[in-house]
Structure 1
Amino acid sequence: MSQQQNQQQCDSANEAAGMAMVEAQWEEIRKKYPDWYAMYDEVMPDTTASRSEMAELWATAPTPWAAGVIYGKFTMRLEISAHTGMPF
């Protein structure tokens, strides 16, 4: 097996492990904090959530992991805004 194939297998295993962790975190949030998750799902923070909605999600995040997710999405939206000139 080539070095590239070995790297692809390693990458695939790491991606699968990462996805499993994320899925477990989302499942915990869906079960323990259904109101927060419903808001998250409704406002669609990747694309259509307003800055105010994002700030509310961030401020009310029920776990440090959820706060980190919102922080990442918030800063991504800021960068998109800076590069495209579209307001956020």
Structure 2
Amino acid sequence: MSANEPQQNVDHESIGMATAIVEMDALEKNHPEWYAMFNDVLPDSLASRAELAELWATAPTPFANALIYGKFTLRLEIAAHTGIPFV
């Protein structure tokens, strides 16, 4: 690992976060009903499968679709590793 690698990781994370913040702000502004439903089912670990599936099916943008895809697949992985069903 080079001496610059940790800083490069931080820089990449900052760029990714800045992009995500812009997308989240756009969701809140342009799709307030969907965004409110998204906020209502947080935290992710408590959202039911049906709630996440509804958000996924109604995702108004490609970013929103990918956001819910990530949350959904994370929950599937958690279920696979813990044996706790994702229902």
* Matched positions, count: 86
1:1-88 to 2 correspondences below 5 Å: 3-4=2-3, 6-44=4-42, 46-88=44-86
Indicate if the aligned counterparts of 1:45 and 1:73 stay in contact, CA closer than 8 A.
no
The list of structure 1 runs, each at least 4 consecutive aligned residues, that deviate by more than 3 angstroms after superposition, is none
What is the Cα deviation at residue 45 of structure 1? 5.4
**Secondary structure class of the residue paired with 1:62:** coil
Q: Structure 1 CA distance, aligned partners of 2:79 and 2:28?
A: 30
Q: Structure 2 CA distance, aligned partners of 1:64 and 1:18?
A: 16
* Unaligned residue ranges in structure 2 (runs of 5+): none
**Secondary structure class of the residue paired with 2:60:** coil
* Unaligned residue ranges in structure 1 (runs of 5+): none
Which protein is bigger by CA-based radius of gyration? 1
Same amino acid, percent of matched pairs: 54
Cα deviations by residue, 1:28-61 (Å, 9 ceiling, x for unpaired) = 0000001101111111152111100010000000
RMSD over aligned Cα atoms: 1.4
